[in-house]
């Protein structure tokens, strides 16, 4: 088993979330990635998924804006065209490699439509293998909906996140702790705030109970926003609502906060992040761990054509630069 000191874990967590860089979430499951490729008219295959992730990772000077890249198991085991495994190439390019280790969600019995994230069985052995192959950090995502979250579902997912985080740290891997309240729907800002508060309260209670070193984790939350089908509110209002919920539940020792984009347009999440970064009351560094907000336009530009790789990489780099600029404010 790899062992890292508490200081080393904290250093990696800070490296991921400080210095005006953020994390690229490129860990879509095979099912999700295949569907996104097919939506762009690209036949889904292991090779197509590898070529797309290689396009992302090898964009010129990506490390100027990106501190870490989250990969799924398939990509983690694949090689670039030059034969280097993705995690090794990432490190050589100045980007820490991370691995998504949850295995997805299933319904939580007795809780209406609430979900539980699975993947704890055998996790210690998987983490040992990923650490040996170069993983610096990991990710586990709990998924909540404002209409179906219950106190029990928040506690159950919080305990799973806490067991995952403690196991990661035992294996020398920094855990990204992701409790996502979905922003699909027409709910208002208050509903998002209430659900996010319920989720974060349960998660941090469980992390503390489990003895997780908070200076060695990265929190990946949603912004507190109205649903995507509701009337939008100004970025300053989103930042204020998000800060209020985080400030209530997230201890100052947490190494950093890296937000997910949740399906919001790139310009919107950059505006939310910029407004939050400008709030000097916050004790934690804030940055991004966006997926769709960084990559959707690049995937569309590429559309599977080797002739469009450079153009697609340019689109990715523009979005990464905008997000990094927002985090630096
Ligand atoms: C990149 O997508 C991640 C994996 O999703 P699936 O397991 O459902 O395929 C996802 O966890 C992602 O990291 C977060 O949702 C943040 O991505 P967005 O697009 O919301 O920034």
Which residue puts its alpha carbon closest to atom 2 of ligand 1? 28
Q: What is the mean pLDDT of each run of 10 residues along the chain (329 residues)?
A: 80 97 98 98 98 98 98 98 98 98 97 97 98 98 98 98 98 98 97 98 98 98 98 98 98 98 98 96 97 98 98 98 94
Compute how many other C-beta atoms are within 10 angstroms of the C-beta atom of residue 109: 7
Q: What is the spatial order of strands in the sheet that 22-25 belongs to?
A: 22-25, 66-71, 96-100, 137-144, 174-181, 218-219, 256-259, 286-288
Give residue 1's pLDDT: 46
Task: Report H helices in 77-226.
Answer: 86-92, 123-132, 151-170, 189-209
Kindly state if the Cβ of 175 falls inside 6 Å of ligand 1.
no
Kindly state if the Cβ of 32 falls inside 6 Å of ligand 1.
yes
**Ligand 1 pocket mutation, candidates 258, 291, 293, criterion most atoms within 8 A of CB:** 291
Give residue 3's pLDDT: 57
Compute how many other C-beta atoms are within 10 angstroms of the C-beta atom of residue 199: 27
Which of these, 121, 216, 170, lies nearest to 1 by C-alpha position?
A: 170
Which of these, 237, 158, 244, 142, lies nearest to 201 by C-alpha position?
A: 158
What is the residue whose two structure tokens read 């985090």?
327
Rounded to the nearest 5 degrees, what angle is found at the Cα of 167, between the Cα atoms of 166 and 173? 95
The structure's pTM equals: 0.97
> Alpha-carbon distance 161 to 140, whole Å?
7
Which of these, 296, 178, 273, lies nearest to 225 by C-alpha position?
A: 273
Spatial contact of 102 and 164, defined as CB atoms under 8 Å apart: yes
How far the first Cα of the chain sits from its last, in Å, is 39
Ligand 1 midpoint to CA 239 (Å): 21
Rounded to 5 degrees, φ, ψ at 41 are: 80, 20
Which residue puts its alpha carbon closest to atom 13 of ligand 1? 25
Kindly state if the Cβ of 141 falls inside 6 Å of ligand 1.
yes
Ligand 1 midpoint to CA 26 (Å): 8
- What DSSP string describes 169-211? HHTT-EEEEEEEEP--SS--HHHHHHHHHHHHHHHHHHHHHTT
11, exposed or middle or buried, with CB in 10 Å at 0-12, 13-18, 19+? middle
Pair of tokens at residue 82: 């030059």
Give residue 154's pLDDT: 98
The pairing of strands 137-144 and 115-117 is unpaired
Angle between helices 235-249 and 266-277 (to 10 degrees): 60
List % helix, strand, coil for the chain (3-state, nearest 5).
Answer: 50, 15, 35
């Amino acid at each position: 088993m790899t062992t890292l000191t508490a200081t080393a874990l904290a250093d990696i967590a800070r490296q991921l979330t400080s210095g005006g860089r953020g994390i690229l979430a490129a860990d879509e499951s095979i099912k999700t990635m295949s569907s996104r490729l097919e939506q762009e008219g690209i036949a889904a295959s292991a090779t197509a998924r590898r070529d797309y992730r290689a396009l992302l990772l090898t964009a010129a000077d990506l490390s100027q804006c990106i501190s870490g890249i989250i990969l799924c198991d398939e990509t983690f085991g694949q090689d670039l065209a030059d034969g280097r495994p993705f995690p090794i190439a990432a490190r050589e390019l100045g980007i820490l490699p991370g691995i998504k280790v949850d295995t997805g969600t299933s319904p939580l019995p007795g809780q209406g439509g609430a979900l539980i994230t699975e993947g704890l069985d055998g996790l210690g052995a998987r983490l040992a293998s990923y650490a040996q192959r170069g993983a610096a950090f990991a990710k586990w995502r709990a998924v909540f909906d404002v209409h179906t979250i219950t106190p029990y579902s928040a506690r159950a997912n919080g305990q799973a996140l806490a067991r995952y985080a403690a196991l990661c740290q035992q294996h020398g891997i920094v855990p990204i702790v992701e409790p996502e309240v979905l922003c699909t729907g027409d709910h208002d800002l208050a509903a998002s705030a209430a659900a996010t508060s319920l989720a974060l309260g349960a998660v941090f209670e469980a992390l503390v109970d489990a003895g997780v070193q908070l200076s060695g984790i990265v929190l990946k939350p949603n912004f507190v926003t109205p649903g995507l089908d509701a009337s939008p509110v100004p970025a300053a209002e989103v930042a204020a609502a998000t800060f209020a919920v985080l400030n209530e539940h997230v201890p100052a020792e947490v190494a950093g906060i890296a937000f997910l984009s949740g399906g919001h347009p790139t310009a919107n999440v950059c505006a939310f992040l910029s407004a939050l970064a400008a709030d000097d009351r916050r004790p934690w560094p804030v940055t991004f761990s966006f997926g769709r907000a960084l990559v959707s336009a690049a995937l569309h530009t590429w559309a599977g054509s080797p002739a469009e790789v450079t153009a697609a990489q340019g689109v990715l780099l523009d979005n990464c630069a905008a997000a990094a600029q927002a985090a630096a404010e």
